[in-house]
Amino acid sequence: AQTVTQSQPEMSVQEAETVTLSCTYDTSESDYYLFWYKQPPSRQMILVIRQEAYKQQNATENRFSVNFQKAAKSFSLKISDSQLGDAAMYFCAYDLGTYKYIFGTGTRLKVLA
Amino acid sequence: DTGVSQDPRHKITKRGQNVTFRCDPISEHNRLYWYRQTLGQGPEFLTYFQNEAQLEKSRLLSDRFSAERPKGSFSTLEIQRTEQGDSAMYLCASSQGTSYEQYFGPGTRLTVT
Protein backbone atom coordinates (compact mmCIF):
# COMPACT_ATOMS: atom_id res chain seq x y z
CA ALA A 1 0.00 0.00 0.00
CA GLN A 2 1.11 3.50 -0.71
CA THR A 3 1.42 5.34 2.58
CA VAL A 4 2.88 8.47 4.09
CA THR A 5 3.73 8.50 7.79
CA GLN A 6 4.14 11.58 9.91
CA SER A 7 5.05 10.24 13.32
CA GLN A 8 4.85 13.55 15.18
CA PRO A 9 1.22 14.60 15.72
CA GLU A 10 2.37 17.82 17.37
CA MET A 11 5.60 19.78 17.69
CA SER A 12 6.53 22.99 19.49
CA VAL A 13 9.35 25.40 18.76
CA GLN A 14 10.48 28.65 20.27
CA GLU A 15 10.34 31.68 18.04
CA ALA A 16 13.62 32.12 16.11
CA GLU A 17 14.64 28.50 16.76
CA THR A 18 14.85 25.61 14.29
CA VAL A 19 12.49 22.67 14.09
CA THR A 20 12.43 19.52 11.96
CA LEU A 21 9.26 17.70 10.97
CA SER A 22 9.63 14.09 9.93
CA CYS A 23 7.98 12.20 7.08
CA THR A 24 8.49 8.71 5.74
CA TYR A 25 6.71 7.12 2.81
CA ASP A 26 6.37 3.78 1.18
CA THR A 27 6.54 3.21 -2.55
CA SER A 28 8.30 0.87 -4.92
CA GLU A 29 8.41 3.50 -7.64
CA SER A 30 11.70 5.21 -8.46
CA ASP A 31 10.33 8.45 -9.86
CA TYR A 32 7.93 10.58 -7.88
CA TYR A 33 7.39 14.01 -6.39
CA LEU A 34 7.36 14.99 -2.73
CA PHE A 35 5.69 17.99 -1.16
CA TRP A 36 5.22 19.78 2.12
CA TYR A 37 2.01 21.76 2.49
CA LYS A 38 1.07 24.17 5.25
CA GLN A 39 -2.54 24.49 6.41
CA PRO A 40 -3.09 27.45 8.78
CA PRO A 41 -6.21 27.33 10.97
CA SER A 42 -9.34 27.85 8.86
CA ARG A 43 -7.27 28.74 5.84
CA GLN A 44 -6.36 26.97 2.65
CA MET A 45 -3.37 24.74 2.16
CA ILE A 46 -0.35 26.33 0.56
CA LEU A 47 2.71 24.68 -0.89
CA VAL A 48 5.83 25.12 1.21
CA ILE A 49 8.40 23.16 -0.75
CA ARG A 50 8.68 20.39 -3.34
CA GLN A 51 11.31 17.82 -4.25
CA GLU A 52 11.67 15.67 -7.35
CA ALA A 53 12.88 12.18 -6.44
CA TYR A 54 15.38 12.11 -9.30
CA LYS A 55 17.20 15.14 -7.89
CA GLN A 56 19.84 14.40 -5.29
CA GLN A 57 20.14 17.98 -4.16
CA ASN A 58 17.86 18.90 -1.29
CA ALA A 59 15.32 21.61 -2.05
CA THR A 60 15.46 24.94 -0.23
CA GLU A 61 12.97 27.80 -0.09
CA ASN A 62 14.15 30.66 2.11
CA ARG A 63 13.82 29.44 5.72
CA PHE A 64 12.47 26.04 4.64
CA SER A 65 14.65 23.16 3.55
CA VAL A 66 14.28 19.41 3.22
CA ASN A 67 16.45 16.43 4.00
CA PHE A 68 15.59 13.90 1.30
CA GLN A 69 16.95 10.40 1.86
CA LYS A 70 15.67 8.34 -1.06
CA ALA A 71 17.01 4.99 0.09
CA ALA A 72 15.47 5.46 3.52
CA LYS A 73 12.27 6.89 1.98
CA SER A 74 12.52 9.85 4.29
CA PHE A 75 11.59 13.47 3.55
CA SER A 76 11.93 15.76 6.56
CA LEU A 77 11.23 19.49 6.64
CA LYS A 78 13.47 21.91 8.50
CA ILE A 79 12.17 25.32 9.42
CA SER A 80 14.86 27.79 10.46
CA ASP A 81 14.32 31.03 12.38
CA SER A 82 10.75 30.00 13.22
CA GLN A 83 8.14 32.75 13.17
CA LEU A 84 4.72 33.00 14.79
CA GLY A 85 3.19 32.82 11.32
CA ASP A 86 4.66 29.36 10.82
CA ALA A 87 2.13 27.91 13.27
CA ALA A 88 -0.08 25.55 11.26
CA MET A 89 -0.72 21.93 10.33
CA TYR A 90 1.99 20.63 8.04
CA PHE A 91 1.24 17.82 5.62
CA CYS A 92 3.74 15.70 3.75
CA ALA A 93 2.53 14.28 0.43
CA TYR A 94 3.78 12.48 -2.63
CA ASP A 95 2.67 12.04 -6.21
CA LEU A 96 3.81 9.03 -8.23
CA GLY A 97 3.25 10.89 -11.45
CA THR A 98 -0.43 10.01 -11.47
CA TYR A 99 -1.64 13.50 -10.50
CA LYS A 100 -2.99 12.04 -7.26
CA TYR A 101 -1.52 13.09 -3.94
CA ILE A 102 -1.12 10.69 -1.04
CA PHE A 103 -1.03 12.70 2.19
CA GLY A 104 0.21 11.95 5.67
CA THR A 105 -1.88 12.65 8.76
CA GLY A 106 -0.14 15.92 9.48
CA THR A 107 1.94 17.52 12.21
CA ARG A 108 0.59 20.45 14.18
CA LEU A 109 3.35 23.00 14.73
CA LYS A 110 3.09 25.44 17.60
CA VAL A 111 5.42 28.42 17.74
CA LEU A 112 6.04 29.81 21.21
CA ALA A 113 6.77 33.49 21.67
CA ASP B 1 -5.58 35.57 -10.53
CA THR B 2 -7.77 35.04 -7.48
CA GLY B 3 -6.80 31.46 -6.71
CA VAL B 4 -9.06 28.44 -6.32
CA SER B 5 -12.47 29.31 -4.90
CA GLN B 6 -15.13 27.05 -3.42
CA ASP B 7 -18.75 27.64 -2.63
CA PRO B 8 -20.30 27.34 -0.13
CA ARG B 9 -17.67 27.48 2.59
CA HIS B 10 -19.96 25.78 5.07
CA LYS B 11 -22.98 23.55 4.60
CA ILE B 12 -25.20 21.99 7.23
CA THR B 13 -27.71 19.47 6.00
CA LYS B 14 -29.94 16.78 7.36
CA ARG B 15 -29.25 13.15 6.71
CA GLY B 16 -30.84 11.99 3.49
CA GLN B 17 -30.67 15.36 1.74
CA ASN B 18 -28.68 16.05 -1.41
CA VAL B 19 -25.92 18.65 -1.48
CA THR B 20 -23.86 20.19 -4.26
CA PHE B 21 -20.56 21.99 -3.98
CA ARG B 22 -18.86 24.17 -6.55
CA CYS B 23 -15.18 24.71 -7.28
CA ASP B 24 -13.70 27.37 -9.54
CA PRO B 25 -10.07 26.60 -10.38
CA ILE B 26 -7.34 29.04 -11.24
CA SER B 27 -7.95 30.36 -14.75
CA GLU B 28 -6.53 28.15 -17.47
CA HIS B 29 -5.62 25.34 -15.09
CA ASN B 30 -6.59 22.23 -17.01
CA ARG B 31 -6.56 19.79 -14.10
CA LEU B 32 -8.99 19.88 -11.22
CA TYR B 33 -9.01 17.63 -8.15
CA TRP B 34 -11.37 16.81 -5.31
CA TYR B 35 -10.18 15.61 -1.91
CA ARG B 36 -11.96 14.84 1.35
CA GLN B 37 -10.43 15.65 4.72
CA THR B 38 -11.87 14.33 7.96
CA LEU B 39 -10.90 15.60 11.39
CA GLY B 40 -7.35 14.73 12.34
CA GLN B 41 -6.54 13.22 8.97
CA GLY B 42 -4.79 14.31 5.83
CA PRO B 43 -6.78 14.90 2.66
CA GLU B 44 -7.81 11.79 0.71
CA PHE B 45 -8.06 11.80 -3.06
CA LEU B 46 -11.56 11.46 -4.51
CA THR B 47 -11.32 12.23 -8.22
CA TYR B 48 -9.66 14.39 -10.83
CA PHE B 49 -10.43 15.94 -14.20
CA GLN B 50 -8.26 16.87 -17.10
CA ASN B 51 -10.28 19.50 -18.89
CA GLU B 52 -13.82 18.06 -18.93
CA ALA B 53 -12.77 14.41 -18.75
CA GLN B 54 -12.94 12.63 -15.40
CA LEU B 55 -9.78 10.52 -15.50
CA GLU B 56 -9.71 8.80 -12.15
CA LYS B 57 -12.10 8.06 -9.30
CA SER B 58 -11.19 6.75 -5.89
CA ARG B 59 -12.97 3.80 -4.30
CA LEU B 60 -13.99 6.37 -1.67
CA LEU B 61 -16.31 7.88 -4.25
CA SER B 62 -19.40 5.76 -3.72
CA ASP B 63 -22.38 5.70 -6.05
CA ARG B 64 -23.91 8.53 -4.04
CA PHE B 65 -21.13 10.85 -5.15
CA SER B 66 -20.90 12.40 -8.58
CA ALA B 67 -18.57 15.04 -9.94
CA GLU B 68 -18.74 16.99 -13.17
CA ARG B 69 -16.71 19.54 -15.01
CA PRO B 70 -18.91 20.17 -18.04
CA LYS B 71 -16.96 22.88 -19.84
CA GLY B 72 -13.53 22.23 -18.45
CA SER B 73 -13.76 25.21 -16.14
CA PHE B 74 -15.65 24.99 -12.84
CA SER B 75 -16.59 21.68 -11.27
CA THR B 76 -19.43 20.46 -9.07
CA LEU B 77 -19.43 17.66 -6.54
CA GLU B 78 -22.83 16.29 -5.60
CA ILE B 79 -23.59 13.97 -2.71
CA GLN B 80 -26.97 12.28 -2.77
CA ARG B 81 -28.76 10.92 0.29
CA THR B 82 -26.15 12.28 2.66
CA GLU B 83 -25.04 10.22 5.65
CA GLN B 84 -23.39 11.34 8.87
CA GLY B 85 -20.17 9.73 7.69
CA ASP B 86 -20.07 12.24 4.84
CA SER B 87 -19.32 15.03 7.32
CA ALA B 88 -15.90 16.33 6.31
CA MET B 89 -14.02 19.14 4.61
CA TYR B 90 -14.18 18.82 0.82
CA LEU B 91 -11.16 20.35 -0.83
CA CYS B 92 -10.70 21.31 -4.44
CA ALA B 93 -7.35 21.87 -6.11
CA SER B 94 -6.12 22.68 -9.59
CA SER B 95 -2.91 22.45 -11.57
CA GLN B 96 -1.61 23.56 -14.93
CA GLY B 97 -0.23 21.53 -17.82
CA THR B 98 2.15 18.79 -16.77
CA SER B 99 2.97 20.38 -13.42
CA TYR B 100 2.49 18.18 -10.36
CA GLU B 101 2.05 21.23 -8.15
CA GLN B 102 -1.52 21.57 -6.95
CA TYR B 103 -3.14 24.76 -5.68
CA PHE B 104 -5.84 24.27 -3.10
CA GLY B 105 -9.05 26.12 -2.38
CA PRO B 106 -10.34 26.95 1.11
CA GLY B 107 -12.64 23.95 1.19
CA THR B 108 -16.32 23.35 1.90
CA ARG B 109 -17.06 22.06 5.37
CA LEU B 110 -20.06 19.72 5.33
CA THR B 111 -21.91 18.80 8.48
CA VAL B 112 -24.61 16.16 8.23
CA THR B 113 -27.00 16.12 11.20
pLDDT tens-digit readout, B31-63: 999 999 998 899 999 999 999 999 999 988 889
* A91 CB-contact burial (10 Å; exposed 0-12 / middle 13-18 / buried 19+): buried
DSSP-derived letter for residue A99 is S
- When the pLDDT of each residue in chain B is averaged and rounded to a whole number, the result is 94
Q: Are B52 and B70 in contact (CB under 8 A)?
A: yes
A37: which chain B residues are within 8 Å (Cβ-Cβ)?
104
Examine the pLDDT at B5 and tell me if it is beyond 70: yes
- Name the band, by pLDDT with cuts 50, 70 and 90, for residue B1: low
Query: How many DSSP H helices and E strands does chain A contain?
Result: 0, 12
Question: CB B14: neighbour CB atoms within 10 A?
Answer: 8
Examine the pLDDT at B69 and tell me if it is beyond 90: yes
B91: which chain A residues are within 8 Å (Cβ-Cβ)?
45
What is the distance of C-alpha B74 from the center of its chain?
A: 11
Q: Nearest CA of chain A to the CA of B26: how many Å?
A: 14
Q: Nearest CA of chain B to the CA of A100: how many Å?
A: 7
What value does the CA radius of gyration of chain B take, rounded to a whole number of Å?
A: 13
A15-46 burial code (b ≥16 CB/10 A, e <16): eeeebebbbbbebeeeebbbbbbbbeeeebbe
Using a CB–CB cutoff of 8 Å, tell me whether A95 touches chain B: yes
B43: which chain A residues are within 8 Å (Cβ-Cβ)?
45, 91, 101, 103
